[in-house]
């Protein structure tokens, strides 16, 4: 079976693992600090903004949580009711809503664009004096156009779990909002097994985030959690910072190959177009009807495919509103294997399997 996702850890130097084990320092320390400053320097700092500062944390979910928590500690909604609302998308990871609920805020969902990304115009319409943040995931690795949100007062929290190290319609992905986060989960663009990172160029905000992650050596009773990544995990990430650009290049090549191979299916199957800035964390086709039959067909041919999002968030969390574009996109979405370690032979097998499925299902 060709798996849907596979970690990319080719460059890890095993001798470093030995050094770390014998150093006596496995918890958060200098390796995490190195990862934080290298991540900001490589992916976020620019001449017009910065410098960015980051905190490496235990997961992407934690990064979302601590980012929102710090915002709510520093920023009551003007009406005085804190923590208020977080505007986010109907199509994304459950972690978005869990993090919003964890800080006691209310999620306000908006519909998506046909490509699955949040509709930033609709999000801008939902911003009010109650808004704690707008949480915008760059879904599948496709940078969101944040233009309608950039001139508003509400902080934009860019969810870069699936997309960073690239430029989108508003410049550097992750560095346009007030803060950003990413995930280092096993199948993500950079992976440490479990892990994540949150970053901002706001010095007060990063101080609050750091404070919330350290409960020790404190003399007040303010709530804090140990949310830190370990040096052990951070060490896995360091070589991947170097290979990130090359890995994105490989993802782009595979996406280009798929799109070319599926050109003659275009009349019936929605095939993603090459798109500047897209890092192709996921390659998602839209089938004419619900994608279940395609998923089953491809799995029976040894190709693990999935819907790229488990379920629209309003369904899972019983949230109000109608989100017809997100529903339609989700129902027809089919995510194919795409990752740097997918060999040319495996890519060919994926292409042939999709063509055979199309022969049966279209
Ligand atoms: C868009 C998005 N945000 C947040 C997360 C949460 O990250 P983690 O699984 O590291 O907690 C994920 C993980 O899949 C994600 O895809």
Instruction: Assess if residue 1 is contained within a domain.
Output: no
Instruction: Assess if residue 119 is contained within a domain.
Output: yes
pLDDT band at 293 (very low <50, low <70, confident <90, very high): very high
| Rg of the Cα atoms in the chain | 21
Do 70 and 156 reside in the same domain of the chain? yes
Tell me how far apart the alpha carbons of residues 108 and 86 are, in angstroms, rounded to a whole number. 6
Partners of 57 in the β-ladder: 196, 228
Domain hosting 152: range is 14-239
Task: Look at residue 158 and tell me whether its pLDDT is greater than 60.
Answer: yes
Q: Let me know how long the chain is.
A: 362
Do 310 and 227 reside in the same domain of the chain? no
Instruction: Assess if residue 6 is contained within a domain.
Output: no
- Which pLDDT does position 48 carry in this prediction? 86
Task: Look at residue 77 and tell me whether its pLDDT is greater than 70.
Answer: no
- Ligand 1 shell residues, CB under 6 Å: 59-61, 92-93, 95, 137, 159, 161-162, 183, 185, 196
Domain count, the chain: 2
- The closest of 38, 70, 49 to 176, measured between CA atoms, is 49
**Nearest atom within ligand 1 for CA of residue 137:** 1
Ligand 1 centre to CA of 288 (Å) is: 28
Mutating to test ligand 1, I would choose from 96, 135, 185 the residue with most ligand atoms within 8 A of its C-beta, which is 185
pLDDT tens digits, one per residue of 189-239: 999 999 999 999 999 999 999 999 999 999 999 999 999 999 999 999 999
pLDDT tens digits, one per residue of 228-240: 999 999 999 999 9
Tell me how far apart the alpha carbons of residues 201 and 50 are, in angstroms, rounded to a whole number. 5
Task: Look at residue 263 and tell me whether its pLDDT is greater than 90.
Answer: yes
E strands, 116-239, are 131-137, 156-159, 167-168, 171-172, 179-183, 196-200
Ligand 1 centre to CA of 228 (Å) is: 16
pLDDT band at 80 (very low <50, low <70, confident <90, very high): low
- Of 204, 239, 274, the residue that ends a domain is 239
Mutating to test ligand 1, I would choose from 56, 59, 61 the residue with most ligand atoms within 8 A of its C-beta, which is 61
Average pLDDT estimate for 131-145: 97
Partners of 335 in the β-ladder: 284, 306
Q: Which residues are CB-neighbours of 118 under 8 A, at least 6 positions away? A: 88, 89, 91, 92, 110, 112, 136, 137, 139, 144
Ligand 1 centre to CA of 295 (Å) is: 22
pLDDT band at 82 (very low <50, low <70, confident <90, very high): low
**Nearest atom within ligand 1 for CA of residue 62:** 11
Query: What is the secondary structure of 183-197 as a DSSP string?
Result: E--TTSSS--SS-EE
Ligand 1 centre to CA of 95 (Å) is: 6
Tell me how far apart the alpha carbons of residues 174 and 143 are, in angstroms, rounded to a whole number. 9
Do 232 and 346 reside in the same domain of the chain? no
- Which pLDDT does position 73 carry in this prediction? 92
**Nearest atom within ligand 1 for CA of residue 59:** 10
Instruction: Assess if residue 128 is contained within a domain.
Output: yes
**In the chain, pLDDT over 70 holds for what percent of residues?**
97
Instruction: Assess if residue 269 is contained within a domain.
Output: yes
Task: Look at residue 16 and tell me whether its pLDDT is greater than 80.
Answer: no
Tell me how far apart the alpha carbons of residues 161 and 166 are, in angstroms, rounded to a whole number. 13
In the three-class reduction of DSSP (H, G, I as helix; E, B as strand; rest coil), residue 93 is classed as coil
Tell me how far apart the alpha carbons of residues 133 and 169 are, in angstroms, rounded to a whole number. 21
126: tokens are 């939902």
Do 231 and 299 reside in the same domain of the chain? no
Task: Look at residue 123 and tell me whether its pLDDT is greater than 90.
Answer: yes
CATH number for position 176: 3.40.640.10
């Amino acid at each position: 079976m060709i798996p849907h996702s596979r970690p990319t850890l080719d460059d890890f130097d095993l001798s470093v693992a030995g050094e770390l084990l014998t150093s006596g320092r496995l918890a958060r320390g200098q390796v995490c600090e190195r990862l934080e400053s290298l991540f900001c320097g490589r992916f976020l700092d620019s001449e017009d903004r910065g410098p960015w500062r980051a905190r490496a944390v235990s997961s992407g979910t934690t990064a979302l949580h601590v980012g929102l928590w710090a915002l709510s500690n520093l920023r009551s909604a003007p009406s005085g009711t804190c923590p208020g609302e977080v505007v986010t998308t109907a199509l994304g990871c459950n972690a978005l809503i869990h993090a919003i609920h964890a800080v006691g805020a209310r999620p306000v969902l908006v519909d998506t664009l046909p490509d699955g990304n949040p509709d930033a115009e609709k999000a801008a319409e939902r911003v009010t004096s109650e808004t704690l943040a707008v949480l915008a995931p760059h879904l599948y690795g496709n940078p969101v156009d944040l233009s309608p949100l950039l001139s508003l007062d509400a902080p934009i929290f860019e969810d870069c779990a699936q997309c960073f190290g690239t430029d989108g319609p508003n410049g550097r992905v992750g560095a346009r909002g007030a803060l950003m986060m990413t995930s280092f989960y096993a199948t993500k663009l950079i992976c440490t097994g479990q892990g994540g990172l949150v970053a901002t160029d706001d010095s007060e905000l990063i101080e609050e985030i750091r404070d919330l992650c350290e409960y020790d050596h404190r003399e007040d009773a303010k709530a804090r959690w140990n949310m830190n990544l370990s040096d052990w995990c951070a060490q896995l990430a360091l070589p991947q910072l170097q290979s990130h650009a090359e890995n994105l290049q490989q993802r782009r090549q595979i996406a280009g190959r798929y799109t070319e191979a599926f050109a003659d299916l275009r009349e019936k199957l929605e095939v993603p177009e090459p798109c500047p800035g897209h890092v192709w964390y996921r390659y998602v086709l839209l089938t004419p009807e619900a994608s279940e039959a395609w998923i089953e067909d491809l799995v029976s041919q040894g190709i693990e495919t999935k819907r790229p999002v488990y379920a629209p968030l309003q369904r899972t969390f019983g949230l109000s509103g109608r989100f017809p574009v997100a529903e339609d996109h989700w129902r027809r979405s089919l995510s194919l294997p795409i990752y740097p370690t997918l060999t040319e032979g495996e890519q060919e097998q994926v292409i042939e399997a999709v063509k055979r499925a199309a022969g049966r299902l279209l």
